[in-house]
Amino acid sequence: MTRDKISIAPEAGTAIGLQCPRLRRPPLDPSALTATPWDDPHAKARMGDAILSFIARGMPRSGFTKALYRRLSMMFGFIACYNQQGFWGTHFETTDARAAFLEQIVRWPCWGAPDATWCDVEREIATRIRAQGLVASYQQAARRERTQQEREMLAHLLEKYGPEVSGPMQSRSPEQMGLL
């Protein structure tokens, strides 16, 4: 699988979304998936494609539907986080959280049998994320974001306290404190 050129998705808020269209291609093949007592292979493929599409589009808030939340809260070892907004806040609100979300997906051992779980879909999603190097891309974006935030904070502190705080900290010799 060839890697996509990953680009930044414009999104309001603090999180950086990286677009990776190749993640969606080709669509999941229902004939490669196993039916469970609750879902046929076509339903598994449709939802798997929806998850891949959401990630490929940079995990936009507008794309985080109730159906996506319900399915993701039952996959890759994620939990419901009380509700859809709680899941969003935990896994997508920051770039660091998005990197951790993807890292959990690629590290998940995909427990179970495909006739009882969605482990076949989990494996395919994890394989595609790994092949595109998305975890490393999000981690790099998070580092750049932190650096930018720290520089802005430094500029604010220098403006507030003046240039004297930019020099090395003056160390003082320890003082003996008497008991009497």
Q: Is the pTM of this model over 0.85?
A: no
pLDDT the model gives residue 12: 46
Question: Residue 9, CB half-sphere, CA atoms under 13 Å: how many?
Answer: 22
* Token pair listed for 62: 């507008």
Residues listed for the chain: 180
Give yes or no for residue 94 having a pLDDT over 90.
yes
Categorize the per-residue pLDDT at 110 as very low, low, confident or very high, splitting at 50, 70 and 90: very high
What pLDDT digit, counting tens, does each position of 19-28 carry? 999 999 999 9
pLDDT the model gives residue 9: 60
Output the average pLDDT for the chain: 90
Distance CA 42, CA 39 (A): 8
- Domain coordinates of the chain in residue numbers? 7-146
At 18, give phi and psi (nearest 5°): -105, 130
